[in-house]
């Protein structure tokens, strides 16, 4: 059996009523495009949405960053954008930042998470998609799943997992090329924590098993403002994580999401809010948020996908959603103040900077006698 590639390519190409969700017609258009034009290229595919973002999961044998696969998804989004414009959807085509396709979609707007794998006899994996946040939103869950036995019991119980993992972490503030560092667990976990505490700058790009050398996780690291030179919306990242055997168990991968940590991306992409785990195809609502993350679990055999199991569709996660709502309520009480609004470098609008510039002229410096 040839190696199989799992690819998620996602974009916001327009939504109903502001930034709530894509229309049924838009979703159908993207799905049909992939079905029809992906024949002979893809083995299988799944199309769904998380908030206003449409994610295309596909399986094929072409490897990562494959031009034909990326072009297919790009064209699906271009075709969808036409429908979004006809329907008058908000932000039609907003994540398609370049006019024409070249090579692959990296650096063109859509987010990408891919990995080429040697399929195991049973190959369970998870597809994460988040809205109203940026790629650093996965930093804490990835850290806790792969480094902390409080979430990953396998680190104590399973010999393969005990050997640890290699983290590849990107410095996304460096825009001339990919700048990354490789750090191993368990010996480098404090260094990993030092980087991952700053999710605006350092982002987990991938995680690898030290027992087998196999890839365990892949995260999209796109920062749209680095491509466009200005803020064009939050990046709304996707991720793939393989589970079981030499990888963490599915429940160990989900466990950190019970924290609903505060992340960047609430209202106007400019506020902090709790990352709420939601069911598949969930919309956005309160204060254009809160930031949400969905998780679909699949098994894949010879590239053929099962139907997804909706990992956050369970009574336990209803309880977490209530907790996340309380956290949202709590931070909203302080409105624009302090930690509630993002630092200047992460604001999606120029309003604050413009006002500061005006006020600067009115400041008085008292001369000392």
Q: Which positions lie near Mg ion, rule CB under 5 A? A: 12, 19, 52-53, 131, 233, 236
Rg (CA), the chain: 21
Cβ-based neighbours of 66, under 8 Å, separated by 6 or more: 5, 7, 60, 104
Q: How far is the CB of 229 from ligand F6R (least distance, A)?
A: 16
* Among the listed residues 289, 286, 285, 280, the one whose alpha carbon sits nearest the alpha carbon of residue 312: 280
| Binding site partner of 114, from Mg ion, ligand F6R, none, Cβ cut-off 5-8 A by kind | none
| Rounded least distance, CB 15 to ligand F6R, Å | 8
Nearer to Mg ion, 234 or 327 (CB): 234
Q: How far is the CB of 327 from ligand F6R (least distance, A)?
A: 19
Report, in Å, the least distance between residue 263 CB and Mg ion. 13
Our answer to whether residue 12 is catalytic in this structure is: yes
Closest-by-Cβ residue to ligand F6R is 233
Taking the least distance from each CB to ligand F6R, the nearer of 18 and 103 is 18
Q: What does 268 interact with, of Mg ion, ligand F6R, none (CB < 5 to 8 A by kind)?
A: ligand F6R
Q: In sequence order, which residues have a C-beta less than 8 Å from that of residue 61 and are 6 or more positions away?
A: 2, 3, 4, 5, 43, 303
Residues 327 and 67 sit within 8 Å (Cβ to Cβ): no
Nearest-approach distance from CB 329 to ligand F6R, in angstroms = 20
Catalytic site includes residue 62: no
Distance CA(272)–CA(266), nearest Å, equals 6
Q: Which is nearer to ligand F6R, 11 or 249 (CB)?
A: 11
Q: Which long-range contacts does 23-30 make (Cβ < 8 Å, 24+ apart)?
A: 23/83, 23/84, 23/87, 23/89, 25/83, 25/87, 26/54, 26/80, 26/83, 26/84, 26/87, 26/89, 27/54, 29/76, 29/79, 29/80, 29/83, 30/54, 30/56, 30/76, 30/77, 30/79, 30/80
Which of 71, 191, 231, 313 does the annotation list as catalytic? 231
Can 231 be counted among the known catalytic residues?
yes
* Binding region for ligand F6R (CB under 6 A): 12, 19, 52, 91, 131-132, 233-234, 236, 268-269, 288, 348
Closest alpha carbon to 248 in 128, 163, 121: 163
Q: Which is nearer to Mg ion, 53 or 205 (CB)?
A: 53
Choosing from 10, 21, 132, 234, the catalytic residue is 234
Buried b (16+ CB within 10 A) or exposed e, 45-56: bbbbbbbbbbbb
Identity of the residue, 62 or 225, whose beta carbon is nearer to ligand F6R in the bound complex: 225
* Continuous segment of H or E residues that includes residue 10: strand 4-11
Out of ligand F6R, Mg ion, none, what residue 348 binds, judged by CB under 5 to 8 A for its kind, is ligand F6R
Identity of the residue, 137 or 169, whose beta carbon is nearer to ligand F6R in the bound complex: 137
Q: Residue 31: which of Mg ion, ligand F6R, none does it interact with, CB under 5 to 8 A by kind?
A: none
Q: Which of 10, 12, 44, 53 is catalytic?
A: 12
Helix axis angle for 189-196 and 139-147, nearest 10°, is 170
Q: Least distance in Å: CB of 38 to Mg ion?
A: 24
Q: Show which residues are catalytic.
A: 12, 231, 234
């Amino acid at each position: 059996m040839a190696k199989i590639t799992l690819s998620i390519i996602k974009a916001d190409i327009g939504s109903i009523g502001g930034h709530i969700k894509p229309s049924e017609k838009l979703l159908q258009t993207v799905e049909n495009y992939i079905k029809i034009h992906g024949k002979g290229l893809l083995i299988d595919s799944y199309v769904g949405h998380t908030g206003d973002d449409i994610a295309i999961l596909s399986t094929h044998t072409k490897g990562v960053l494959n031009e034909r696969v990326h072009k297919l998804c790009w064209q699906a989004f271009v075709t969808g954008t036409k429908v979004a414009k006809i329907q008058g959807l908000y932000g039609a085509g907003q994540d398609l930042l370049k006019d024409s396709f070249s090579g692959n979609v990296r650096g063109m707007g859509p987010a990408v998470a891919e990995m080429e794998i040697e399929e195991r006899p049973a190959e369970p994996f998870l597809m994460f998609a988040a809205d109203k946040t940026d790629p650093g939103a996965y930093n804490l869950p990835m850290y806790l799943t792969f480094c902390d036995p409080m979430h990953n019991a396998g680190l104590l119980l399973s010999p393969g997992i005990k050997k640890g993992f290699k983290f590849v972490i990107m410095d996304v503030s460096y825009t001339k090329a990919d700048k990354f560092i490789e750090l191993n667990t368990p010996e480098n976990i404090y260094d990993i924590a030092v980087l991952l505490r700053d999710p605006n700058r350092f982002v987990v790009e991938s995680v690898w098993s030290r027992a087998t050398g196999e890839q365990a996780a892949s995260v999209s690291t796109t920062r749209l403002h680095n491509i466009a030179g200005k803020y064009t919306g939050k990046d709304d990242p996707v991720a793939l994580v393989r589970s079981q055997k030499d990888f963490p168990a599915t429940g160990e991968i989900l466990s950190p999401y019970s924290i609903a940590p505060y992340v960047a991306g609430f209202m106007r992409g400019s506020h902090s809010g709790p990352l709420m785990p939601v069911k598949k195809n969930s919309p956005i609502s309160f204060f254009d948020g809160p930031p949400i993350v969905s998780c679909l679990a699949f098994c894949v055999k010879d590239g053929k996908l099962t139907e997804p199991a909706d990992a956050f569709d369970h009574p336990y996660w209803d309880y977490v959603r209530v907790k996340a709502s309380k956290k949202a309520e709590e931070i909203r009480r302080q409105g624009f103040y302090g930690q509630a609004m993002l630092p200047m470098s992460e604001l999606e609008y120029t309003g604050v900077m413009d006002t500061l510039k005006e006020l600067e002229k009115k400041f008085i410096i008292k001369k000392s006698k």
